[in-house]
Amino acid sequence: MNKKYIIALDGGTTSSRCIIFDRNGNIVSISQKEFTQYFPSPGHVEHDAVEIWSTQLTVLKEALEKSGINACEIDSIGITNQRETTILWDRNTGIPVYNAIVWQCRRTSQYCDRLKKRGYTDIIRDKTGLVIDAYFSATKIKWILDNIEGVRDKAQNGDILFGTVDTWLLWNLTGGKVHATDYSNAARTMLYNINELCWDKDLLKLFDIPESILPTVKPSSCHFGSTDLSLFGHEIAICGIAGDQQAALFGQTCFAKGEAKNTYGTGCFLLLNIGDKPHINKNGLISTIAWGINNKITYALEGSVFVGGAVIQWLRDQMQFITSAADSELVAAKLKNNEGVYFVPAFTGLGAPYWDQYAKGTIVGMTRGSNPSHIVRAALESIAYQSYDVIKAMESSCGIKLKELNVDGGACANDLLMQFQADILCSRITRPLCIESTALGAAYLSGLETGFFASMDEIKSRKSVSKQFIPNMSEIDIKNNLDGWHNAIQRTLTK
């Protein structure tokens, strides 16, 4: 039977998704299922790793069933995932030893502070491209080893495996046969040397983490393994893996140095392709590996906003100001502007370029006349403001002026937000026809390995634009908006 389709598994922060694409990159079938978010104490965020796997398998089978596609027609599977989220499990039973500690979790913030005071900032940045922060995997691994009874002893005996979500899914899909990850995910652990392309022994010693628990690191586009025969009655090759933001950069076809994208998902993540050499900097940005293909590494400069689309979920679920994410645009549009109300959604601290682990959410400028529309609009605008700050730090670091920003992620469907982003950036915003860039990138990486997609040039030629947003705000309005935002930021920062 001809191989007509390719599958992307998207293990996100709030849901598991499966998207089936055809050879033209069109969506044939999609299935999604949310999973439980656990908040055991303030600033702590966890997932049930077993639920992540079960929901991912469920949506994969649902997507096949809804489309009527036979597993024999699937060329291969690409995996993309929430990054940094940390899972440790028993090698022999496959049972996690603790809940997955999510990238948003701040439980190791004080330990990170101690590392900084001990002078490890430059060492870690130079080796990994990262800042010392609870965001990354290393301190989460250490926390589990130090706090869950018996786990460190088992790890020393070789009975514990670590993985980010991609590794966990790969291990389960292959029936426990493959324990691996790709360059892009390894680069997010704060244990991987992005210059020498290896697990760094000095950092493993610093964090007291046995190397035996770590997965094998492979190119983002390669044959990782095949699904266990028991899952679909047919083995399907797994040939692409990339962390969600790197996958989105690839899905947006930002293959050339200087091309950038911003994903408006749970958080906002702006990545700039910087070519074949890392750019270590000191202004709050991250140097990371974008992908590895054909023995060639592509690097990216990244700025991370912890709370992007998550603030819309907060408006819906906690505040009940809206009943659906789409309502945010309608409610915000009731106002011509924010009328001086600014919202800094520092629910889990602030990411780039501020990196304040202890900042808390702040709303400033409210008056007796303020109502839910003001807060909804301020929340939407906060997504654009945070992205603006990252982009300006990136421009300063690289000495460039971004003329165009490619966008994707659920919140980029909000026209009001995209126009406001274009206005304050004074840059063109380009939204692709398919905004599922993360899943598409995983599919492209997998299909390149198998020949389902002939080349990166062919992939680039397929990109279609849905809409462009051209800036049209006056200079004085831009200045007033940004002044108000930065005033709100200063009120929020703790350092």
Q: What is the average per-residue pLDDT within 417-424?
A: 96
pLDDT at residue 104 is higher than 90: no
Spell out the residues 6+ positions from residue 330 whose beta carbon is closer than 8 angstroms to its own. none
Mean pLDDT (the chain, rounded): 92
Residue range 482-486: mean pLDDT, rounded:
96
Selection from 357, 340, 381 nearest residue 306 by Cα: 357
pLDDT-derived band at 327 (thresholds 50, 70, 90) equals confident
CA distance 393 to 121: 19
The Cα–Cα gap between 21 and 34 comes to: 21
The mean pLDDT value for 9-23 works out to 93
pLDDT of 1 > 60? The answer is: no
List pLDDT tens digits, range 166-179: 999 999 999 999 99
Q: Does position 282 have pLDDT exceeding 90, yes or no?
A: no
Which residue stretches of 433-493 are H helix?
437-450, 456-461, 475-492
DSSP reduced 3-state for 487: helix
Mean pLDDT for 410-419 is: 91
- Note the pLDDT of residue 154: 96
| Highest mean pLDDT pick, 29-33, 130-134, 319-323, 460-464 | 29-33
pLDDT-based confidence at residue 393 (cuts at 50, 70, 90): confident
State yes or no: pLDDT of 30 exceeds 90: yes
pLDDT at position 43 is 85
pLDDT of residue 285 exceeding 70: yes
Amino acid sitting at position 112: C
Distance CA 84, CA 187 (A): 9
**Using CA atoms, how far apart are residues 243 and 12, in angstroms rounded to an integer?**
10
Amino acid at 425: L
Q: Copy the structure tokens of residue 242.
A: 């990339």
And the tokens for 136?
Answer: 């990354």
Which token pair is 164?
Answer: 């980010």
Place of tokens 């600014």: 342
Instruction: Give 461-475 pLDDT, tens digit per residue.
Output: 888 889 999 999 999
Q: What pLDDT is recorded for position 357?
A: 77
Q: Which residue shows structure tokens 């999604």? A: 32
Amino acid making up residue 394? M
Which of 379, 382, 378, 386 has its CA nearest to residue 354? 386
pLDDT 10s digits, 109-132: 999 999 999 999 999 999 999 989
Amino acid letter, residue 204: L
pLDDT of residue 99: 97
Map residue 319 onto helix, strand or coil. Answer: coil
To the nearest whole percent, how much of the chain has pLDDT over 90? 72
**Secondary structure of residue 285 in the 3-state scheme:** coil
Write out the two tokens for 404.
Answer: 């165009």
Task: Give the pLDDT score at 448.
Answer: 95
Residue 435 pLDDT grade (very low, low, confident, very high; cuts 50, 70, 90): confident
Query: Does residue 18 register a pLDDT over 90?
Result: yes
Residues in the chain: 495
Question: Closest Cα to residue 310, out of 300, 331, 325?
Answer: 325
Q: What is the per-residue pLDDT for 112?
A: 94
Answer yes or no: is pLDDT of 146 > 70.
Answer: yes
pLDDT at 94: 95
CA atoms within 13 A on the CB side of 224: 39
Residue pLDDT, tens place only, 34-49: 999 999 998 899 999 9
